[in-house]
Amino acid sequence: MTTTLTIGDDLTVHRMGFGAGRLVGPNFYAEPKDAKAARAVLRRALELGVDVIDTADSYGPEINERQIAEALHPYPPNVVIATKGGYTRPRGSWVEDGRPEYLRAACEASLRRLKLERIDLYQLHAPDPDVPLEESVGALEELRREGKIRYIGLSNVNTAELRDMRKIAPIASVQNDYNVGRRDSDDVVDACEQAQIAFLAYFPVDAGGLARARGPLAHVAKRHAATPAQIALAWLLHRSPAIIPIPGTSSLDHLEQNIAAAKIGLSLAEMGELDEL
């Protein structure tokens, strides 16, 4: 099992990232109960070797990006801050906005909040059903050519959308909901691996649901003296060398457990067991 992956041409990172959205309030909305503790989790993630921090302007909204800058800026040279634009949060709901003018404004606002001159990985958070996807991605390509974005990522897309958008702009990553119990994006993972595109798996333990799993996941976990959540993360790392799980947590203990999952080796027989979920 490989332990690193290269995003684009030159961003070589460890294959266990951190989804920072859990550091704001419930449903990725509002301030956290303990802002100091949230910053401590971010700093500890870097101490443990995490070098991909995933966020979005819609987490809070805006709060999560400010947390990252407050805790980690100036950023170590090896750390990739990956953020997203394309959602608004009226009264806590999720509303797509993929208009080119909105994405440009969103990217420039993220640059200011994160205190960056260029965002290493800027991702379209989701296709907007009211805006042609090529227009949204075309706007990101303009920002890339202007030097405001280093690499472009897509989120919540299928294989056809990925194929078509690669004709519009170079795509360095895809971020979809994917875990051992939810495998709708199996074909996207395979397409990313073939094209040497990073696949960032969000909800890698199914929003915590797999942490309480029984059956094969619990049996394999017992064998390794691990938790079911750790085995779910290990499965992702073994599933494809293109995958970077981005588990999120506001707990230092859970953070330590998540990072430790990268050291768990699964046999082919165990992978087969888990594929039955």
Q: How far is CA 2 from each of CA 61, 84, 205, 225, rounded to the nearest angstrom?
A: 35, 27, 21, 22
pLDDT, tens only, 194-240: 999 999 999 999 977 787 778 899 999 999 999 999 999 999 999 99
Whether 155 maps to a domain, the answer reads: yes
User: Which of 174-187 are b and which e, b meaning 16 or more Cβ less than 10 Å from the residue's Cβ?
Assistant: bbbebbbbbeebee
What per-residue confidence (pLDDT) applies to 101?
98
Is 275 part of a structural domain of the chain? no
Q: Does 220 fall in a domain? A: no
Say if 40 falls within a structural domain: yes
pLDDT at site 277: 80
Q: Which domain holds residue 201?
A: 4-207+241-250
Strand partners, 72: none
Q: Which of 239, 245, 211 is nearest to 227 (CA)?
A: 211
DSSP state of 33: S
In contact, 82 and 54? CB cutoff 8 Å? yes
Give 179-202 pLDDT, tens digit per residue: 999 999 999 999 999 999 999 999
Predicted pLDDT at 213: 77
Q: How many residues does the chain have?
A: 277
Domain contains 116: yes
Overall pTM surpassing 0.95 (yes/no): yes
Q: What's the angle, vertex CA 110, arms to CA 107 and CA 111, rounded to 5?
A: 90
| 84 strand-pairing partners | 123
Q: What is the CATH number of the domain that holds 61?
A: 3.20.20.100
What is the pLDDT, as a whole number, of residue 211? 78
pLDDT at 212 (0 to 100):
79
- Pick out the chain residues at pLDDT < 50: none
DSSP E strand boundaries for the chain: 4-7, 11-14, 18-19, 52-54, 80-85, 87-88, 95-96, 119-124, 149-155, 171-177, 198-202, 243-245
Q: Are 119 and 159 in contact (CB under 8 A)?
A: no
Greatest alpha-carbon span in the chain: 53
Enter the tokens of residue 192. Answer: 């990313």
Residue 197 lies in a domain: yes
Query: Active-site residues: which are they?
Result: 59
Number of domains in the chain: 1
* Residue 23 domain-assigned (yes or no): yes
Written as one letter, the residue type at 45 is: A
Q: Is residue 216 part of a domain?
A: no
Burial classification of residue 231, based on how many CB atoms lie within 10 Å of its CB (0-12 exposed, 13-18 middle, 19 or more buried): buried
Q: How far is CA 250 from the centre of its chain?
A: 16
Q: Please report the pLDDT score of residue 208 as a whole number.
A: 77
